[in-house]
Structure 1
């Protein structure tokens, strides 16, 4: 009679399956109830058909269909050595296997043939542990022979991320031309284009007689747009291999003409189909990073700090400090290098107006000096375009406002004179778009706002000026996104966009406060605004540690937190950093 509330008890014996396997293995070793022998190298290994069938689709197909093996008591496995076959059968009956460098490949081939998937992946895991930059290219080739996707993916990931080490390996020189081309054109390669060029040259020099003819095909894999012009025109252009190829020489000439004409019109006229090569994107290992440098920190005179913003962790990291304290220097990025230009040094009583140019690369995180400006100046503006840095106006060593301008040509590492600005202005908003430099507003020597737009045509070295009543900005940054220049604040809360195609201003979402002496840069098509000074509700000027982002598509402002300290008159720039596996930029 059933008791009220009686429950069913489900018992699971956790040791049952391993115990049965253990007993089956003893039966095999004692040759009890075995009904088939697997043979290799004159060695017979007695087994139970039902164990083989239940462990592998290969044996299930062999013994459960009308194949002749169904009737046979001895099965010959010719492609597997007796030692490897014995290891596999031990694994089938015990679940244990010892994998070493000596046996991993034949064991993997046997596991593949006999369809033991988990054993195959165990061998793959072992090989993945042995991966290094020296052998990852060989492992890719091996994984293709073995048809092992897990090993191929891991080996390829290492080959992509450890390009510097892989490019120095003997294996790279042994690659076939199609293999090398596939490797060098991959978007995921963690490499600088200069390094890609040096790698293909080393590959050709490994066997110059048979490989010289490949130079033009390989050279197309180098993304010339992202190479520093000095390196391109002084090193690559003079390389004997490049000079020996008509096509390579034409490609370099196309770049040179593009640089000189400062226009993209010449692309279609080129003797080679240059346009697709020029518009090739940066590799996906290139990350744009926001850098904040110099300025006046926490209301002190000047700051030597440089910081980089890590978008993933949303934290600020320290970079190497500027060698000197500079008051009202200008800041610009060119070829992934940060330039700090001029300014006034504050280490002496009266201050010295500087013509020095300091550079910092995220790769080395070291400050160096570049070719100095011909004219010392501070409180000036700098912008970059193609291979030029343009330096405009500011105050000279006599502390007077100047309309002089000059440009640095990175192709030849020299400074050149420019036509002077129509009107000398202090603290204008400056941006580059459509081969022109636009200088909005600012103030004159008497600190009156100047309501004009000054436009410099880069290719013609000519200025023009436009009167415009909408312009009334002082100490405001400008940023270009698509065909619009955004002028943000400047003793006002106003954000306006200048449409260069229609020559009209569009009103955008206001800032929360009247703001000036802040800085802006474009990162991933959004405008990031840092620091500055603002006028609070009581008309008192305060320093700011604000960090905000303006989305041009939605016309909205979003707070990104704060800077590590209050800062104004600083530089805010976007630098490209090429990731190196296992290294940090900080």
Structure 2
């Protein structure tokens, strides 16, 4: 065999047009995974390892794990600091590790080599805790995401507590949001009853609690006290002050005072609230529960050439409109309210080409399943009706049946599905506006069959009687009426000659009316509701056109702005605010998309209050519009 060196390569690469300066790059995408795979094989065979982690946990026998410092340091900032910053562990062949279970450390080491980890639900808490200790953020995130999917009423409080202990902000926030959203179910679980008094007060003080009514919070506190009655009785007063007792009904409070054993201080506190409510005393405006469920503005029915059956919802946060399940029978001149998240459509009229029919129906829409269900009908049909809610019961006020103009009022109890007549108004009113403040029902304006009205009256449910209040500055029927704070706002309407854009507000404490900023558009038979401290007016009739515009009023600046347009122009809609529909496969979400419709001219209704409207139109009455003599 020759010992000569190989001869110099004589091959020549022909230069390119770039004078021989071209280069190429090559990357082997699988190299990193392959290299770490080989290192893992070396770890498992105990080859080239330069550190042994001796893991001691409680009374368990110590377990040794051999590894490569460079791999551990590349996966964990804690190991990197341990092996590179001159700490004593830098020169140690065996490094003692405490406070972590050997199985957890084994999985974290395996993850450092393989970028893969498999964790069961029974040990995810321990793995996440270990990953937090060694700042392996990717494993922390994976465990966090898994725990979020496992949230349940039975474990949400425990997961929230664990997340707080390890300072995992994301998991803590998600668990708390779950607790707030599902409070009614969480409050029946063992974890809830093991809360401390401070933890419970903090929880029930949150505005975000998603509860059907405040009685759910009250009863949850009672159950918590009963769980350990002897030791928890001293905390009752503090709990009662955290519950928003002024949002409870007098009937509920009376039942609790009679059925529960309270100390004198608690009895006096509840009795004072009962007295405030039954005497309709003005109280400090109570902060409403505002669960983080999107609250949408729903609009039902309406009129444009004939009555409509549409149910649509507007999200003020996104500007999007949803088309939902239609009313079973087209209606205009209806009113709408929400009780316990359910949307009720009350009365109205079906104006159709083949004839008109006033309605006594009450239909209930459930956003949870996007379905309507019929409820017990009213005693008489009521078109251009006003509605309000006191103590979870619907009051249907005035309206018309053919040529009969009602002054009668009836009350609906959703629990019993029954209507009962209460004291009639002092004046017959159709196109009347209704609002509720301090458990008093106010009926404003309207049309008595001869004149448009500026008068208003107030119903006291304890006395079952009406009394006259100060009159508005302007006669108007078909106005939008809404309570906001301790004031009643009356917008637009028809004065017998023109549609109005003026706005008046009523101060319940001084029994006086004053003007506020006018709307941008004249409108009667408009829909109105309050949402997050502002007033929204929808559609209506301006004397020539059925409007699709939506305006928003900010009471802090006393200004109006146009915020969106409905899918089509209409008047006489029923409007109220409730939660976003749960189903995601609803009709296509439309944003400002215009559609051709047929629909109505009379009636308006409100969210927290309601009114049937008067458009002041002079079309043929066969189409449900109003002539001068209505």
TM range (shorter): 0.7 to 0.9
Q: Determine if contact 2:524/2:540 at 8 Å carries over to the other structure.
A: yes
Q: Distance in 2 between matches of 1:582 and 1:165?
A: 21
C-alpha distance after superposition, 1:188-233 (max 9, x if no partner): 2222323223333333333334334433333333323444555x24
1:443-474 Cα deviation digits (max 9, x unpaired): 5645xx54x63143567953256595xx3544
Equivalent in 546, 562, 569 of residue 548 of structure 2? 546
TM-aligned CA distance change 1:325 to 1:124, over 3 Å: closer
Take 2:331 and 2:390, find their aligned partners in 1: how far apart are those partners?
A: 27
Secondary structure of 1:220's counterpart equals helix
Q: How does 1:107-506 map to 2 (within 5 A)?
A: 107-192=127-212, 193-227=214-248, 229-230=250-251, 232-233=252-253, 235-240=255-260, 243-264=261-282, 279-285=286-292, 288-293=295-300, 297-300=303-306, 307-311=312-316, 312=318, 314-318=320-324, 321=327, 367=373, 369=375, 376=380, 378-379=382-383, 381-384=385-388, 387=391, 394=399, 399-401=403-405, 404=407, 406=409, 416-417=422-423, 420-421=426-427, 427=431, 437=442, 439-440=444-445, 442-443=446-447, 445-446=449-450, 449-450=451-452, 453-456=454-457, 461-463=466-468, 471=474, 473-479=476-482, 485-490=489-494, 492-500=498-506, 503-505=513-515
- Report if aligned partners of 1:128, 1:151 keep a CA contact under 8 Å in 2: yes
In the superposition, the TM-score normalised over structure 2's length comes to 0.69
Contact 2:426 2:466 in 1 (8 A): no
Task: Supply the distance in 2 between the matched residues of 1:334 and 1:433 (Cα, whole angstroms).
Answer: 16
TM-score, normalisation: structure 1: 0.73
Q: 1:187 to 1:433 in 2, by over 3 A?
A: closer
- Structure 2, gaps ≥5 residues long: 1-14, 56-60, 588-630
Counterpart contact for 1:379–1:394, Cα < 8 Å: yes
Superposition deviation, residue 383 in structure 1: 4.8
Q: Does 1:521 align with 2:536?
A: no
Which whole-Å CA distance do the structure 2 matches of 1:355 and 1:251 have between them? 42
Structure 1's unaligned 5+ residue stretches are: 268-274, 537-541
How many residues were matched structurally? 545
Partners of 2:201 and 2:552 lie apart in 1 by 41
Partner of 2:32: 17
Given that 2:526 and 2:540 are in contact with CA atoms closer than 8 Å, whether structure 1 keeps it comes out as yes
Question: How many Å separate the matches in 1 of 2:71 and 2:398?
Answer: 87
Between 1 and 2, higher relative CO (CA 8 Å, sep ≥ 6) is seen in 2
Contact 1:161 1:581 in 2 (8 A): no
Per the alignment, do residues 506 and 147 of structure 1 end up closer, same or farther by CA in structure 2, a change over 3 Å counting? closer
Q: CA deviation at 1:369?
A: 5.0
Deviations 1:293-327 (A, max 9, x none): 455x5544x666655445547324445746x7878
Does the CA-based 8 Å contact 1:545-1:563 persist in structure 2?
no
Residues of 2 paired with 1:12 and 1:153: CA distance? 42
Secondary structure at the counterpart of residue 573 of structure 1: strand
Of 25, 48, 67 in structure 2, the residue corresponding to residue 47 of structure 1 is 67
